[in-house]
């Protein structure tokens, strides 16, 4: 018993002497001194995390709470990573390529023996659904924080899992229930099923090794790319083909089961906002499900878990059509990337539950105990350029990084910090940004504020896309499907389209920021510089270029505010004008906006992040604007005769040689970045003049690959 003040909460840490941790499970025991008794349960003394990045950090946080010492593994390029610094011990397992480090079972097993770790949490990806890894751990007497080997085998293989789902009376998608041998067989099967079809890796997940095919040619191409991606990501190139359900929702059920036959469903997660079959925005619960459909999906998910004697946290994914018919997609036998939204609405720590189950303890809850409290939304923040196919990877060093943790009800799961490198070797995720509210509108409003207050410099990122999604009328109304992005942005994502009012707000803000900086430059350590001639300037006539437009803007100082005239309309702009801060809170005619000025130069060019999108402006005095007309402009490069890499990555294959004739749309080479393969095609018909790359080369964004005559 520990004496506590009435009504307080104690966080009890590891008690080394007794070699036990105190979970803080309160029981009905009270002394005259208002003491509480806690029931102590021992799990593990030391746990190794066979992963990296944000999920490794996430597991370490729970282990610290439970009093478990942690061991991190890392590649040589991750030596200074955040998860390495957070862990109690850290050991390098090899060079940067995943096959030589995070997928190197022999090296990881050596670290387990060396550090005497009693258990391993695999996180997600890498070895999290590798039955051979789980088997090797079991043979060494090391606990795998996840399901048993037979469950990984059954559910990790999409072909076998579909057969098991059918036997468990779970709704399944029509398709071929075997392994596709080659491209010719893929075409034959696709014709039998009927187009469109989904080609996907049997051992895969996370959108890798998946292609949609609408005809024979796309089936052959999809088979080639999917098998290569599957081999690269999972070491298993087996593929399956099934009917592609057009315009569905992607809704998944979180399950939790123990080794005593108990299993729960922890409600659903809506994961329909996707690009390239990878989730971008998730939320819990779903706006689409009614209680009856939710219960039916949950019960089928639990039935499947019990059919394979599943024990741990797992996710059963479904496709749901417009009539609320749902079909089993796959079961992920691991912790999902988007698990935080479930934790927010249920109050459970899923990592802690996984560790307890792995130790053999029964579940502490019954189905009737599982609530839906409030609403949670998660945005996956990636180092990607959303203007290129909704997100092609970006690499670089985070020169400035500030998470929006000052915003209420915000959670950020990340594994990076200012100075961290985003490399071509791993997934480009920066963080998972989660907001919580008592209802959906509140959670979305907080997400909007959090995205505006997120500072990421040094790499491209997808904040602009995320913000546009969560404020789009269709998303706000819950009218979504897995086709949301291509339907809303059929010509690709172009950023926020300013209304006339927003354009005036941006112009007024940019002009006021320019004047505020001019005024600051006249002061030195808070005191006005000694002028050559006295000047008490209070008005400025400026010319602001935004996009294709040039706008005259008049600014006058009015106390601590600026009065700005744009389009014949006057706006009042106020701010503290802390120009050293990466975030600026500006109020324009009573409307508060959080902006970021990303860059500026002596030519008047400035980049401002406004409503999530970065706008390029040029601010000049009226005289300078007149003179700028005489400045020559650099001619744009003719890109039809050259092919440049749109992203950093590795050249997987080159399909042409100098002298070859290529047709418009013909594949020239394949670039792999973050385990995703991208086909680079010719922009016009012509003869190949020069090839500047070969298979195995590492290329940067903008590097010249091929020239045409």
Give one word for 655, left, alpha or beta, with left for phi > 0 and alpha for psi -120 to 50.
alpha
Report yes or no: 365 and 346 within 8 Å, Cβ to Cβ: no
> One of 270, 283, 317, 330 is an active-site residue; which one?
330
Residues pairing with 212 in the sheet: 198
CB of 340 closer than 8 Å to CB of 351:
no
Crossing angle for the helix pair 158-167 and 291-307, nearest 10 degrees?
110
> What's the distance, CA 380 to chain centroid?
3
Rounded to whole angstroms, the Cα distance separating 264 from 260 reads 12
CA distance 452 to 470: 12
Q: Which residues 6+ apart lie within 8 Å of 268 measured at CB?
A: 251, 252, 253, 254, 284, 285, 286, 289, 294, 297, 298
449 is catalytic: no
Q: How far apart are the first and last CA of the chain?
A: 83
User: Burial letters for 103-119: b for 16+ Cβ neighbours within 10 Å, e otherwise?
Assistant: bbeebbbebbeebebbb
Phi-psi region of 64 (alpha: psi -120 to 50; beta: other; left: phi over 0): alpha
Give the number of other CB atoms < 10 A from CB of residue 419: 12
Cis peptide bond prior to 285, omega within 30° of 0: yes
Instruction: Please name every residue paired with 242 in a beta bridge, in sequence order, or none if there are none.
Output: 175, 198
Distance CA 397, CA 392 (A): 17
The structure tokens listed for 7 are 């009504």
Distances in whole angstroms, Cα of residue 495 to Cα of each of 134, 432, 433: 45, 21, 20
Residues tagged active-site: 330
């Amino acid at each position: 018993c520990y004496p506590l003040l009435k009504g307080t909460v104690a966080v009890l840490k590891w008690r080394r002497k007794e070699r036990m941790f105190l979970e803080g499970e309160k029981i009905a025991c009270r002394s005259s001194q208002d003491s509480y008794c806690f029931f102590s349960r021992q799990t593990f003394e030391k746990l190794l995390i066979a992963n990296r990045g944000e999920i490794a950090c996430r597991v370490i946080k729970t282990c610290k709470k439970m009093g478990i010492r942690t061991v991190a593994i890392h590649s040589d390029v991750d030596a200074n990573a955040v998860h390495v610094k957070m862990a109690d011990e850290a050991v390098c397992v090899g060079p940067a390529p995943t096959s030589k480090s995070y997928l190197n079972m022999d090296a990881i097993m050596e670290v387990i023996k060396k550090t005497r770790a009693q258990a391993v949490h695999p996180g997600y990806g890498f070895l999290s659904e590798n039955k051979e890894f789980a088997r090797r751990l079991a043979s060494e007497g090391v606990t795998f924080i996840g399901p048993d080997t037979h469950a990984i085998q059954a559910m990790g293989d999409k072909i076998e899992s579909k057969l098991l789902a059918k036997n468990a009376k779970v709704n399944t998608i029509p398709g071929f229930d075997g392994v596709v041998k080659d491209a010719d067989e893929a075409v034959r099967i696709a014709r039998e099923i009927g187009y469109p079809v989904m080609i996907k890796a049997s051992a895969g997940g996370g959108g890798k090794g998946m292609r949609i095919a609408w005809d024979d040619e796309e089936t052959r191409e999809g088979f080639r790319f999917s098998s290569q991606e599957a081999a690269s990501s999972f070491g298993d190139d087996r593929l399956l083909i099934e009917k592609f359900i057009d315009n569905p929702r992607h809704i998944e059920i979180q399950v939790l089961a123990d080794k005593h036959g108990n299993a729960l469903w922890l409600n659903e997660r809506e994961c329909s906002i996707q690009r390239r079959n990878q989730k971008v925005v998730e939320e819990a619960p779903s706006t689409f499900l009614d209680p009856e459909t939710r219960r039916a999906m949950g019960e089928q998910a639990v039935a499947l878990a019990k059919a394979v004697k599943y024990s741990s946290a797992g996710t059963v994914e479904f496709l749901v059509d417009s009539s609320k018919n749902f079909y089993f997609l796959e079961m992920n036998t691991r912790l999902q990337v988007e698990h935080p939204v479930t934790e927010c609405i249920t109050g459970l720590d899923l990592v802690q539950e996984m560790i307890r189950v792995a130790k053999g303890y029964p579940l502490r809850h019954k189905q009737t105990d599982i609530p839906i409290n409030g609403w949670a939304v998660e945005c996956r923040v990636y180092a990607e350029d959303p203007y290129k196919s909704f997100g092609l990877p970006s690499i670089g060093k985070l020169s400035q990084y500030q998470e929006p943790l000052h915003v209420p009800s915000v959670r950020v799961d990340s594994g990076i910090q200012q100075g961290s490198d985003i490399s071509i070797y791993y997934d480009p995720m920066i963080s998972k940004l989660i907001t919580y509210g008592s209802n959906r509108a509140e959670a979305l409003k907080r997400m909007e504020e959090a995205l505006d207050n997120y500072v990421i410099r040094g790499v491209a990122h997808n904040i602009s896309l995320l913000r546009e999604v969560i404020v789009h009328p269709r998303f706000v109304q819950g009218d979504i499907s897995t086709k949301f992005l291509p339907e809303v942005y059929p010509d690709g994502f172009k950023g926020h389209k300013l209304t006339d009012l927003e354009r005036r707000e941006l112009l007024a803000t940019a002009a006021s920021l320019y004047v505020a900086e001019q005024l600051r430059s006249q002061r030195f350590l808070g005191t006005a510089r000694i002028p050559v001639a006295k000047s008490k300037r209070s008005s400025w006539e400026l010319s602001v270029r935004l996009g294709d437009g040039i706008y005259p803007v008049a600014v006058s100082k009015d106390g601590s505010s600026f009065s700005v005239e744009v389009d014949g309309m006057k706006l009042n702009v106020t701010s503290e004008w802390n120009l050293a801060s990466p975030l600026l809170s500006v109020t324009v005619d009573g409307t508060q906006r959080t902006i970021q000025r990303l860059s500026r130069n002596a030519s008047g060019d400035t980049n401002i992040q406004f409503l999530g999108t970065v706008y390029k402006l040029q601010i000049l005095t009226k005289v300078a604007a007149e003179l700028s007309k005489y400045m020559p402009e650099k001619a744009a490069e003719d890109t039809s005769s050259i092919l440049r890499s749109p992203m950093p990555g590795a050249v997987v294959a080159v399909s042409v040689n100098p002298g070859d004739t290529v047709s418009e749309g013909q594949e020239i080479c394949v670039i792999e970045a973050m385990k995703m393969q991208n086909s680079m095609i010719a922009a016009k018909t012509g003869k190949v003049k020069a090839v500047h790359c070969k298979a195995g080369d590492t290329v940067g964004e903008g590097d010249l690959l091929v020239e045409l005559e």
